[in-house]
Structure 1
Amino acid sequence: MNYVSTRGGIAPVSLEVAMAAGLAPDGGLYVPQRVPVVELARPQATLAQTAQQVLAPYFAGSDLLGHLPQLCEAAFDFPAPLRALDGTDDYLLELFHGPTAAFKDYAARFLAGTLARLRRPADPTTTVLVATSGDTGAAVAAAFHRRPGFRVLVLYPDGRVSPRQAHVLGSFGDNVQAMRVDGSFDDCQRLVKQALVDASLRERLALTSANSISLGRLLPQIAYYAHAALDFHTRRGMPLDFIVPTGNLGNALACWLARRMGLPIGAIVLACNANDALPRYLDGGDYAPRATEATLANAMDVGAPSNFERLRWWHPDDAGLRAGLRAFRVDDAAIRDTIAGAPQRHGVVPCPHTAVGLRVLERLRAGGDAGNWAVVATAHPAKFEGVVEPLVGHAVEPPAALATALAQPAHAQALAADYAALREHLLRGVDA
């Protein structure tokens, strides 16, 4: 399997090149030349084994194929349960049982393992540059923490992540450095993209990305959709429909890819916060990103979703793209109402992002939709205690790994939303 850029400016490259680069040299995103079809009648015994089956076609012809079982076992060693909501036929796909209590843990660990396999002993240290709106940075930091041959630089928008998210980002130390950027997530993402296409910088620095623009982040996310859908189809004989809270569109795109691969997935609905470029477009408007608006669901505060470029590459026209997806906007007032009512309505305490998905589910049911819906639960509510606890009226206990991180001291360095400042920081000490 070879990989090409969404902008068409390069020749096809191997999986190894696409994984290591993060972003294509022409500024585009890497995509497989074709989406393979897999024939699986039921899930494998474990999530890791299902991951191996659905990812194998993307590794065809690569030296990494022989390492795929070990990569999957290491990355998918915690569950992604499909939990029935109280008193309904609706479900949560719980993806927050990893070390940083967010869905990003699966793919970040897979990417870290893959890049470690690609390293040679004489290679220079690789700098992993990542922009985060809250959860990505912590997952990437945890996945690469203390891995020989890597340093991680995490850029997050100062004051626009939850206090606990900010603390975790700054708690790792060692080869991980957190940078609080005076700007929005879109500013952080812009800085990362500028660095990745800066040819003179890359001549002096081994650089890659761990955002969802990275192929190594996108592909592994297919696995938990495949496992859940196959499990549901085996038990119920029907496709499973998904509501995916989305910001940068990577997680939802993985769901779309799983469906295109022939897995038993029905409808896919994007649940967005007030940053509504995708709902406006899918409702028939122009695709017109706007300045990011800060919301309670901060990890989804993305005004210009990067993975839309991939989605558009796979569709010859707007009509075809709109035919396969729907999207809804949920504002902060509705998020608060959903969190406050979720224990009684659904038997769960959701994080703000999962609440966006639950609100969309409630709208669909109120409109008479009879689909087999699973809402993707993207993060543990304890990461957002300042929002969640006053609304549900009690403390939310953090899982053990999160509690350990919160007990560590934390530090983040200030950075202007200026590429020259980032470039100077990246090169500090390189030529010494």
Structure 2
Amino acid sequence: MSEPVRYHSTRGAGPTVPISQAIAAGLAPDGGLYVPEALPSIDPAAFDPHGSLADTATTLLAPFFADDPLGDELAAICAEAFTFDAPLRAMPALPNTMMLELFQGPTSAFKDFGARFLAACLRRLPRTDARPLTILVATSGDTGAAVAAAFHRQPNVRVVILYPDGLVSPRQAHQLGCFGDNVTALRVAGRFDDCQRMVKAALGDATLQAQLPLSSANSISLGRLLPQMSYYAHAALGWWREHGTPLNFIVPTGNLGNALACLWVREIGLPVGTVRLACNANATLPDYFSGAAYAPREAVASLANAMDVGAPSNFDRLRWTYQDEHTLREQLQAASVDDAAIRQTIASHAHDHGDVFCPHTATAVHLLDRLRASGDTTPWAVVATAHPAKFESVVEPLIGQSLAVPVSLAAMLALPASSEPLAADENALRQWLLQHAQA
């Protein structure tokens, strides 16, 4: 048997590990993010042209799971995770424009793909520790609900969600608190970056880990990031077979996980063309790609709240992917879209074309509008990350009508919801976890 693919930390310390161990841990012991020793190369001809999204995912991810015990069950994992589509739809009113709809899952956001894949992996990993595994997740709106839905009532697993109090939409907050059972939502008196910092500190606390087994379900986890490559591969391959050209993508991004997944698909040899990043008022990435030094900062609140990130974790993986800074800046462009432009984009497209977008998707549509206004006529796929009904308090006043609510979202909104307050302090989370270790 050949040697399995190994994974190491972006920070370079610590041993290399198999993917099962990297997924189980979430974060590397030195605080870095796991990456493969090298990205594989995959021939587009290797994919079944008539295959489902789950089939595409199985072929795509097989090299990442080579000779790992999870690799033997990869087809079953993908079939279990990808039970809904990620359709690439033409937008008739906008020539040469497609929309990649990633909100068809149970919580109406793209995070469902990665969360369900991660849960399917962790269910299959053997554990010698009889104590419950606590999954920690920081969320700026959508990740927490997707993780909660994926792990709800899973035996011997608890989910603890940290979200910034008052900085997610009302329906997002309700989703986070409606599961109960083995899922607890903590509303943190701070911003998403505080939640992310607190989760990373807990995962990196060896003393705490010895008392309480922990893992992560943020995009810092390879078990979340790798499956997100699948819908980009599936869309790009379908377009390439029909048109013979790569497909360009505009990706709304905050923590960079979704965008990085798209870039990795291109790096392994599949027909992804230009990738542009749409950001909200948090300009860490746009400033960097405009030539400034990389400078993480305090996040600012915006209408596209799930992208309110001032210190995107996956930037470490991006730098690993393109280790020369000049090359990195050549590979990407990023632009900020402020709240006024988000509102204008939602209102004008609903009025002119009948298309309704969530605030995050609207950032990408606004970038598309800029490109078209400059004379760009090339094919673009706008990535739609969430259903607009999750943000009815923003969207409905702008379009002048109520939005139909997806069935699964309506079912969650009909449930009672609760959450617990928590200070934006690493020790506060540590104490909460220890207090509730036996709960």
| Shorter-chain TM-score tier | over 0.9
Equivalents in 1 of 2:15, 2:275: separation in Å?
32
2:312 aligned partner: 305
1:7 aligned partner: 11
Cα contact 2:256–2:314 (8 A) shared by 1? yes
Q: Structure 2 counterpart of 1:47, which letter?
A: L
Match of 1:19 among 12, 18, 23: 23
2:362 aligned partner: 355
Instruction: Give deviations 1:283-342, integer Å, cap 9, x for gaps.
Output: 111111121110000000000000001101122221010111111110000000000011
Match of 1:81 among 61, 64, 87: 87
Q: Give structure 2 stretches of 5+ with no counterpart.
A: none
Instruction: Give deviations 1:198-251, integer Å, cap 9, x for gaps.
Output: 010001111000000011110000000000000011111111000000000000
Cα contact 2:364–2:383 (8 A) shared by 1? yes
Q: Find out whether 1:101 has 2:105 as its counterpart.
A: no
Equivalents in 1 of 2:353, 2:338: separation in Å?
20
Q: Find out whether 1:29 has 2:33 as its counterpart.
A: yes
2:70 aligned partner: 64
1:137 aligned partner: 144
Q: Find out whether 1:389 has 2:396 as its counterpart.
A: yes
1:115 partner SS: helix
Q: Structure 2 counterpart of 1:410, which letter?
A: A
Cα 1:318–1:61, aligned 2, differ >3 Å: closer, same or farther? Answer: same
Q: Find out whether 1:146 has 2:153 as its counterpart.
A: yes
Cα contact 1:247–1:272 (8 A) shared by 2? yes
Cα 1:289–1:203, aligned 2, differ >3 Å: closer, same or farther? Answer: same
* More deviation, 144-153/341-350: 341-350
2:334 partner SS: strand
Instruction: Give deviations 1:57-110, integer Å, cap 9, x for gaps.
Output: 000010111110110001111010001112321010000000000000000000
Equivalents in 2 of 1:204, 1:128: separation in Å?
14
Cα 1:333–1:119, aligned 2, differ >3 Å: closer, same or farther? Answer: same
2:420 aligned partner: 413
Q: Structure 2 counterpart of 1:367, which letter?
A: S
Instruction: Give deviations 1:229-279, integer Å, cap 9, x for gaps.
Output: 000111111110000000000000000000001110000000000001111
Match of 2:433 among 403, 426, 429: 426
Q: Structure 2 counterpart of 1:18, which letter?
A: A
1:365 aligned partner: 372
Equivalents in 2 of 1:206, 1:127: separation in Å?
6
Cα contact 1:86–1:347 (8 A) shared by 2? no
Cα contact 1:239–1:372 (8 A) shared by 2? no
Structure 1 runs of 4+ off > 4 angstroms?
none
Q: Find out whether 1:173 has 2:172 as its counterpart.
A: no
2:240 aligned partner: 233
Cα contact 1:108–1:143 (8 A) shared by 2? yes
Cα contact 2:96–2:378 (8 A) shared by 1? no
1:243 aligned partner: 250
1:329 aligned partner: 336
Cα contact 1:44–1:50 (8 A) shared by 2? no
* More deviation, 165-174/44-53: 44-53
Cα contact 2:136–2:159 (8 A) shared by 1? yes
Question: How far does residue 371 in structure 1 lie from its aligned partner after superposition?
Answer: 2.3
2:276 aligned partner: 269
Equivalents in 2 of 1:338, 1:138: separation in Å?
27
Equivalents in 1 of 2:285, 2:50: separation in Å?
34
Q: Structure 2 counterpart of 1:318, which letter?
A: E
Q: Structure 1 counterpart of 2:78, which letter?
A: C
Alignment length (residue pairs): 432
Cα contact 2:351–2:399 (8 A) shared by 1? no
1:128 partner SS: strand
Question: How far does residue 119 in structure 1 lie from its aligned partner after superposition?
Answer: 3.3
2:171 aligned partner: 164
Cα contact 2:251–2:275 (8 A) shared by 1? yes
Equivalents in 2 of 1:305, 1:312: separation in Å?
12
Cα contact 1:354–1:377 (8 A) shared by 2? yes
1:91 partner SS: strand
1:130 partner SS: strand
1:342 aligned partner: 349
Cα contact 1:133–1:156 (8 A) shared by 2? yes
Question: How far does residue 120 in structure 1 lie from its aligned partner after superposition?
Answer: 3.6
Match of 2:206 among 199, 202, 210: 199
Q: Structure 2 counterpart of 1:66, which letter?
A: D
Cα 1:346–1:377, aligned 2, differ >3 Å: closer, same or farther? Answer: farther
Q: Structure 2 counterpart of 1:307, which letter?
A: N
Instruction: Give deviations 1:2-37, integer Å, cap 9, x for gaps.
Output: 001000001211111100001000010000111011
Q: Structure 1 counterpart of 2:81, which letter?
A: A
Equivalents in 1 of 2:401, 2:128: separation in Å?
51
Q: Structure 2 counterpart of 1:86, which letter?
A: P
Identity %: 61
* More deviation, 261-270/315-324: 315-324
Equivalents in 1 of 2:437, 2:358: separation in Å?
41
Equivalents in 2 of 1:181, 1:231: separation in Å?
42
Cα contact 1:6–1:31 (8 A) shared by 2? yes
Match of 1:376 among 371, 383, 391: 383
Equivalents in 1 of 2:50, 2:139: separation in Å?
33
Equivalents in 2 of 1:289, 1:130: separation in Å?
21
